[in-house]
Amino acid sequence: SQQGEEDPQALSIQEGENATMNCSYKTSINNLQWYRQNSGRGLVHLILIRSNEREKHSGRLRVTLDTSKKSSSLLITASRAADTASYFCATGDSGYSTLTFGKGTMLLVSP
């Protein structure tokens, strides 16, 4: 299975702190994507990193990818209460049009 595995399963921090979530996967990938899901809502795409990239930034988000370790991390800096959500990594194979989602990390940011 290509399924990613995030850790931790749950993370609780204070506003202003940084949050780091990790994702591991099993086979070769074309790209890895991170999504956010607010409670009771659909998923929102955050960032895509290709297999030949090592790091990518988008606003307060920083994603790293280590293909030798088959792992990725998502760092949210200066977190806000509005960042409270579940975060999923998803991997895509080259030539396919489908993603396989990991189990997610539930992030709680307290004011």
Partner 1 sequence: DAMVIQNPRYQVTQFGKPVTLSCSQTLNHNVMYWYQQKSSQAPKLLFHYYDKDFNNEADTPDNFQSRRPNTSFCFLDIRSPGLGDAAMYLCATSPPGTGVQPQHFGDGTRLSIL
Contact residues for partner 1, defined by CB under 8 A: 3, 30-31, 33, 40-45, 48, 50, 88, 92-104, 106
Virtual CA dihedral for 81, 5, 25, 61, nearest 10 degrees? 0
The tokens for 14 are 């204070």
DSSP 59: T
CB of 16 to partner 1, least distance (A): 27
How many residues are there in the chain?
Answer: 111
CB of 52 to partner 1, least distance (A): 11
CB of 80 to partner 1, least distance (A): 22
Q: Concatenate the DSSP letters of all residues of 62-74 into one string.
A: EEEEETTTTEEEE
Of 31 and 71, the one with the shorter C-beta distance to partner 1 is 31
Of 10 and 78, the one with the shorter C-beta distance to partner 1 is 10
